[in-house]
Chains A and B, each alone.
Chain A
Amino acid sequence: MGAINAVKDAINFLTAPAIFISLAAVLFFIAVPRRAFWTRRVAMVGTILGALFVGVSMLDPDFALIVKKADNVPIVAMLFLVGFFLWLSLSQAHENDARIAAGEPPVEGTPREAEKTWVWPDLVYTEMLCMVIGMIVLVVWSLALAAPIEEPANPARTPNPSKAPWYFLGLQEMLVYFDPWLAGVVFPSLIIVGLMAIPYIDVNPKGNGYFTFKERKVEIMLFLFGFLILWVLLVLLGTFLRGPNWNFFGPYEYWDLHKLEALNNVNLSEYVFVKWTHLGLPRNMLLRELPGILAVLFYVGVLPGLLAFRHRILGLPIGLKKYYDRLGPWRYAVFVMLLLSMIALPIKMVLRWTLNLKYIIAMPEIFFNI
């Protein structure tokens, strides 16, 4: 028992948001660009390990309680599906890259594949088959699992935790780091706008109509980082690892209503005026928040320009001059603002984990906190 508990404790420890998200991000940057990670063998081992993890973990009552919640079953299925399709797309992408490097066309471009075929019966047949299989899955699923119905609505009794529908839990998880006006309104709008802007910002003509990684590395890394780490992973976190009071609970941890988490988050103004300079917080709101306002103005006002005219900044290859030259001022402006908005989330996460930073600008008087 001792050994099992030690493993459980280790997994509980590793799934804490700071460690979990960081590990996932590191694995993401190591694995996605390397062909060796997207072979059949890795897929098999990954599937077996994943299934073993879920299967064995079901023996733990706290784990089983969350995973067996009827509405959470599709999320488990989604995690496996996203994993499978990530593998399917990247294995084909890396395969095509190898072909292109050898001077051959991508698989989709071979004469055999470029040949035209009849919609009736070839395509219609595939569509019908997919429909039939889809219907069978849906009926079996519906027979096996009843749709949840809880107690009647009672506006006087707030459940703890109160969670949004599962596909919005990534946004709810963002509320840990940003206020509702950003996490609930501005960022979701920017996600939609950003997605819609993709075809107009991405001027790379390559990789149209076939899987490839090498020909569009940066686009794919940016999109996948957003989709996998900032969306799917946060949905997972919000669904399975957030309990009462939105506190973190490891997968094998009991959801204790009375779990206490030290709240020692500090605003930037308090860092500057109290901790570092001992001046005391100024009375005037704007003066108090001046450091934060300057930081944000630098981030959205100066940084885009700085990035546009440098290949390297402080010796790091993070300059965007290449993109500025390729995109021109307007496309670049949209691109860089979307990019900085997206990166604002990991930046705020790291600041929270390392410095316990609560707000960069804190003006609760006018509901303006960043």
Chain B
Amino acid sequence: MATAPEPKPFIARTWDYVTETQIWKSIFRHGMPDTNRNRVLVVMTNVFLHLHPVKIRKSGIRLKFTWCMGGLTFFLFLVETFTGLLLMFYYRPTVAYAYMDIVDLAEQVPLGIMREIHRWGAHAMVITVWLHMFRVFMTGSYKPPREFNWNVGVILLVLTLLLSFTGYLLPWDQLAIWAITVGSNMARATPLLGHEGPGAQLLVLGDVKMVHAGSDARFALLGGRFVGEGALLRFYVLHCVGIPLVAGILMAIHFWRVRKDGGISGPL
């Protein structure tokens, strides 16, 4: 008497059913990535995963080599984007509302940690991006053919600092405006372009000064002669739209070039 084949468990049957539907098949054009063919397909047919190559050096995935600092930086960028979006629902970038909106977030939301995650994530991102640069330097990974990607990385590092700097102002408390005042005061001394910078006195038309407190680099940065309403709006727009947009494009180039320049670096 032949025994009947054991019936598959419920979960497996459901799984089989779901993965056989037209909807599933239209999204995923390959089976489970447990065969080599499907492992290739899963990377090649996914817009996010295909920034990776299909195969990679073993030394390139050891944490002792990569420290995962670049990956963590990107992860933190995503965390900042998500928490930042939620914060934008509750925050109005005007002198009248900004501070109270932040206080409300702290006092009215039980167990609310969105602002905490956003702020500590930002600090962490500055640290991870430094450590990423440190690792890339120490493994000589900027050497040919990766010179250009190192440059993209340097710009991304600067953008990370600028993202953090513009965000620093938004709570509109004493910490915020004075840190930005100290930081932006430097722009006053820009050679030629700052009204207290060397050479600015040379830029005169007759006896009319072209570079003064109302027209210099600092004024352009702050949208005013001091850190006020104009600066708050300017920093808000740069923080939420301008810099993330540029950083996002550069990140795409950065990751793409990692792959195009031969994947993660290793001895030749």
Chain A residues close to B by CB (< 8 Å): 71, 74, 77-78, 81-82, 85, 88-89, 92-93, 105-109, 112-124, 126-127, 130-131, 134-135, 138-139, 141-143, 145-155, 157-159, 162-168, 171-172, 179-181, 183-186, 192, 195-196, 198-200, 202, 204-212, 216, 220, 223, 227, 366-368
Which residue of chain B has the shortest Cβ distance to A369 in the bound complex?
B198
Which residue of chain B has the shortest Cβ distance to A77 in the bound complex?
B127
Within 8 A of A (CB), among B130-182: 130-131, 133-135, 137-144, 146-147, 150-151, 154, 157-158, 161, 164-165, 168, 171-179, 181-182
5 inter-chain pairs at a CB distance below 8 angstroms, sorted by A residue, are A109-B266, A165-B165, A180-B188, A196-B154, A366-B201
Question: Which chain A positions have C-beta within 8 A of B142?
Answer: 198-199, 202
Q: Is the CB of A210 within 8 A of B186?
A: no
Which residue of chain A has the shortest Cβ distance to B226 in the bound complex?
A155
Asked if B214 is at the interface (CB within 8 A of a chain A CB), the reply is: no
Question: Which chain A positions have C-beta within 8 A of B135?
Answer: 85, 89
Q: Which 9 A-B pairs have the closest CB atoms?
A: A184-B186, A142-B116, A199-B147, A180-B189, A109-B267, A209-B265, A113-B59, A181-B189, A74-B123
Name the one of B116, B117, B131, B197 contacting A82, with C-beta atoms under 8 angstroms: B131
A-contact 0/1 string along B21-43, CB 8 Å cutoff:
00000000000010010010011
Closest-CB distance, B139 to chain A (whole angstroms): 6
Which residue of chain B has the shortest Cβ distance to A115 in the bound complex?
B58
17 A-B pairs besides A139-B113, A148-B175, A195-B133 with CB distance below 8 A are: A85-B134, A107-B59, A113-B62, A116-B57, A118-B56, A127-B68, A141-B116, A149-B175, A163-B179, A163-B182, A165-B165, A167-B164, A168-B183, A180-B185, A185-B194, A205-B144, A208-B141
Q: Is the CB of A367 within 8 A of B56?
A: no
Determine chain B's interface SS by DSSP, over half rule. Answer: helix
Name the one of A81, A120, A147, A172 contacting B39, with C-beta atoms under 8 angstroms: A120
Q: Is the CB of B72 within 8 A of A114?
A: no
Asked if B79 is at the interface (CB within 8 A of a chain A CB), the reply is: yes
Closest-CB distance, A369 to chain B (whole angstroms): 8
Q: How far is the CA of A117 from the CA of B161 in the complex (A)?
A: 35
Q: Is the CB of A126 within 8 A of B174?
A: no
Question: Which chain A positions have C-beta within 8 A of B189?
Answer: 179-181, 184-185, 367
Determine chain A's interface SS by DSSP, over half rule. Answer: helix
The interface size bin for chain B is 35 or more
Question: Which chain A positions have C-beta within 8 A of B201?
Answer: 366-367
Closest-CB distance, B104 to chain A (whole angstroms): 11
Q: How far is the CA of A117 from the CA of B53 in the complex (A)?
A: 11
Q: How far is the CA of A158 from the CA of B177 in the complex (A)?
A: 10
Q: Is the CB of B56 within 8 A of A117?
A: yes
Which residue of chain B has the shortest Cβ distance to A147 in the bound complex?
B119
Chain B residues close to A by CB (< 8 Å): 33, 36, 39, 42-43, 49, 52-65, 67-68, 71-72, 75-76, 79, 95, 99, 102-103, 106, 113, 115-121, 123-124, 126-127, 130-131, 133-135, 137-144, 146-147, 150-151, 154, 157-158, 161, 164-165, 168, 171-179, 181-183, 185-191, 194, 196-201, 226-228, 265-268
Closest-CB distance, B218 to chain A (whole angstroms): 11
Q: How far is the CA of A202 from the CA of B52 in the complex (A)?
A: 28
Q: Is the CB of B174 within 8 A of A74?
A: no
Among B64, B118, B123, B194, residue most surrounded by chain A Cβ atoms (within 10 Å): B123
Closest-CB distance, B50 to chain A (whole angstroms): 10
Which residue of chain A has the shortest Cβ distance to B54 in the bound complex?
A119
Which residue of chain A has the shortest Cβ distance to B38 in the bound complex?
A120
Name the one of B116, B144, B197 contacting A145, with C-beta atoms under 8 angstroms: B116
Q: Is the CB of A138 within 8 A of B198?
A: no
Question: Which chain A positions have C-beta within 8 A of B161?
Answer: 167-168
Question: Which chain B positions have C-beta within 8 A of A368?
Answer: 198-199
Q: Is the CB of A124 within 8 A of B49?
A: yes
Q: Is the CB of A199 within 8 A of B150?
A: yes
User: Given A152-B99, A192-B154, A223-B137, is A116 in contact with B182 using a C-beta cutoff of 8 Å?
Assistant: no
Closest-CB distance, B4 to chain A (whole angstroms): 35
Q: Is the CB of A367 within 8 A of B53?
A: no
Q: Is the CB of B56 within 8 A of A81?
A: no
Q: Is the CB of B267 within 8 A of A209?
A: yes
Closest-CB distance, A252 to chain B (whole angstroms): 24
Name the one of A151, A164, A179, A211 contacting B183, with C-beta atoms under 8 angstroms: A164
Question: Which chain B positions have C-beta within 8 A of A142?
Answer: 113, 116-117, 120
Among A115, A147, A153, A192, residue most surrounded by chain B Cβ atoms (within 10 Å): A153
Which residue of chain B has the shortest Cβ distance to A144 in the bound complex?
B116
Name the one of B52, B127, B173 contacting A119, with C-beta atoms under 8 angstroms: B52
Which residue of chain B has the shortest Cβ distance to A166 in the bound complex?
B123
Question: Which chain A positions have C-beta within 8 A of B102?
Answer: 149
Question: Which chain A positions have C-beta within 8 A of B123?
Answer: 71, 74, 166
Question: Which chain A positions have C-beta within 8 A of B131?
Answer: 81-82, 85
Q: How far is the CA of A290 from the CA of B179 in the complex (A)?
A: 37
Q: Is the CB of B178 within 8 A of A162?
A: yes
